[in-house]
Amino acid sequence: MDSFSTGSSGTGSPQFSTDEFMDQMKVQLAQAYAQEFLETVRGKCFEKCITKPGSSLSGSESSCISRCVDRYIEATGIVGRVLFSSR
Amino acid sequence: MDPSALNSPDLQRFLNQEKEKAMVNEMVAKLTSVCWDKCITGTPGNKFSSSESACLSNCAQRFMDLTMIIMKRIQSMQ
């Protein structure tokens, strides 16, 4: 057994197999999607809930933010369903 | 990863799948953003009113119609 056949499933290289590459890429993509979603929701909910920024976050502002996040996720679901039920 | 692995059918299939997922993801995100701005005019409540959820769904459907019309229009110009 030579050094090129260790630790990979057939076609990959010794240090870094195709499977490992795909797994790492999936993790990174998931992180990127989550990051992007966070930024979008942050922008939308800031606009809706923090209309006049005060010296601290009020209780009504923070409950607005929670509702806003929930509704934004729900809205994403509605839009996604429309896009995929019509095909 | 060794360069020849880039030609592996598994990897190509994986990349194409992820590319498609990314496109779908982007379209849903874009459309949600546009329709949210159009339909959710007040502060978000504990649940969507029926008019808000109907607006979101109509907004997405009309966006699809619009896409089709624009595509046809552009095709007819070629």
- In three-state secondary structure terms, B64 is helix
- Quote the pLDDT of residue A13: 47
- Quote the pLDDT of residue B19: 94
Where residue B49 falls (left for φ over 0; alpha for ψ -120 to 50; beta otherwise) is beta
Whole-number CA gyration radius for chain B: 19
- Quote the pLDDT of residue A14: 56
Per-residue model confidence as pLDDT tens digits over B45-76: 999 999 999 999 999 999 999 999 999 999 99
pLDDT (mean) for B36-48:
96
Q: pLDDT over 90 for what percent of chain A?
A: 68
Q: DSSP letters of B5-60?
A: GGG-HHHHHHHHHHHHHHHHHHHHHHHHHHHHHHH--S---SS--HHHHHHHHHHH
State the pTM of this model. Answer: 0.81
Interface touch B48/A71, C-beta < 8 Å: yes
ipTM for the assembly = 0.85
Domains and CATH numbers, chain A: 17-49+56-85 (1.10.287.810)
Distance linking the first and last C-alpha atoms of chain A: 52
- The alpha carbon of residue A21 and the mean position of all alpha carbons in its chain are separated, in whole angstroms, by 20
pLDDT (mean) for B13-39:
94
- Quote the pLDDT of residue A15: 63
Per-residue model confidence as pLDDT tens digits over A48-81: 999 999 999 999 999 999 999 999 999 999 999 9
Topology annotation, domain B3-77: Helix Hairpins (1.10.287)
- B42/B2 Cα distance (integer angstroms): 55
| Domain regions of chain B by residue span | 3-77
The mean pLDDT value of chain A amounts to 85
Q: Which residue of A has its CA nearest to B31?
A: A79
Q: For A16, which DSSP code?
A: S
Residues near B63 by Cβ (< 8 Å), separated by ≥ 6? B31, B34, B35
Residue B28 pLDDT more than 70? yes
Is the minimum CB–CB distance between B55 and chain A shorter than 8 Å?
A: no
Burial class of residue B60 in the structure, from the number of CB atoms within 10 Å of its CB (0-12 exposed, 13-18 middle, 19+ buried): buried
Q: pLDDT over 90 for what percent of chain B?
A: 83
Of residues A14 and B67, the one with the higher pLDDT is: B67
Residues of B in contact with A13 (CB under 8 A): 1-2, 5
Residues of A in contact with B35 (CB under 8 A): 75, 79
- A68/B2 Cα distance (integer angstroms): 47
